[in-house]
Chains A and B, each alone.
Chain A
Amino acid sequence: DTGVSQNPRHKITKRGQNVTFRCDPISEHNRLYWYRQTLGQGPEFLTYFQNEAQLEKSRLLSDRFSAERPKGSFSTLEIQRTEQGDSAMYLCASSTGPTGGQFFGPGTRLTVL
């Protein structure tokens, strides 16, 4: 399967802990996006990478959130000092350009107790 993969699929953590998620995009895609989706809502944009450069961050991405894409391939999203309000599905998507559509991974569901 050469689609977008995300790990872990599920993460349960206690408030105050740090968590890290990984996304492996489709191999020839140089653009990578992170979105957050809460129950009953559509995905909301968090951040965007073109190759290894992080070119846009949403205001939703507080100081506790950091994302990297060190070699322009896989990406990680870290949340420090998690809060219950961080509970959501975190989706990763990749594409070759700004217009052809983004291809999404299965998501990582985070539950903060």
Chain B
Amino acid sequence: GEDVEQSLFLSVREGDSSVINCTYTDSSSTYLYWYKQEPGAGLQLLTYIFSNMDMKQDQRLTVLLNKKDKHLSLRIADTQTGDSAIYFCAESIPGNTGKLIFGQGTTLQVKP
């Protein structure tokens, strides 16, 4: 079945690194995504990784994929107060529609 799990809450100090974790169940997932949602707003696409990759880096963001364990993580370096938001992991189900299955989101709180 299709299921994506995330821890619900993470609190870090400004300047520290944040690591948000996600597990998924569909081993045939082709792409995995990270989205950011600020209060009252829609979802902002942060980054994505193809399932044949192990790592992708984009400025302060590093995505790690362990396909064997079906584990995805998002590392934010030098976390800032503006990074406080809810972060969603999503998997793309194979087939032509490209619909996304989302986790329940991880609330990141950045303390000054």
A74 within 8 A of partner (CB)? no
**Cβ-neighbour of B98 out of A6, A98, A104 (below 8 A):** A98
Segment among B12-20, B42-50, B57-65, B67-75 that sits at the interface with chain A: B42-50
* CB nearest neighbor in A for B101: A45
User: Within 8 Å CB of A40, what residues of B?
Assistant: 104-105
Is the CB–CB distance between B98 and A44 below 8 Å? no
Q: Which residues of B contact A44 (CB under 8 A)?
A: 102
Q: What 8 pairs between A and B have smallest CB-CB spacing?
A: A98-B98, A42-B102, A104-B42, A104-B43, A106-B42, A45-B99, A101-B45, A48-B97
Beyond contacts A33-B98, A102-B45: 12 other A-B pairs, Cβ-Cβ < 8 A, are: A41-B104, A42-B90, A42-B102, A43-B43, A91-B42, A95-B98, A98-B95, A98-B96, A100-B48, A104-B35, A106-B42, A107-B41
Binding site for B on A (CB under 8 A): 4, 6, 31, 33, 35, 40-45, 48, 55-56, 91, 93, 95, 97-107
Chain B: minimal CB distance from A86 (Å): 19
Query: Chain B interface: which size bin?
Result: 20 to 34
How many A-B pairs have beta carbons closer than 8 Å: the answer is: 67
**Residues from chain B with Cβ under 8 Å of A101 in the complex:** 31, 33, 45, 48
> A-contacting residues of B (Cβ < 8 Å)?
4, 30-31, 33, 35, 41-45, 48, 50, 88, 90, 92, 95-105
Cβ-defined partner of B97 (8 Å) among A91, A98, A100, A105: A98
**What are 19 of the A-B contact pairs (CB < 8 Å)?**
A4-B42, A31-B98, A35-B100, A42-B102, A42-B103, A42-B104, A43-B43, A45-B101, A48-B97, A98-B92, A98-B96, A98-B98, A99-B30, A99-B92, A101-B45, A102-B45, A102-B98, A104-B43, A106-B41
Are B42 and A105 in contact, CB atoms less than 8 angstroms apart? yes
Residues of A within 8 A of B92 (CB): 98-99
Known: A48-B97, A55-B97, A95-B98. A42 touches B44 (CB 8 A): no
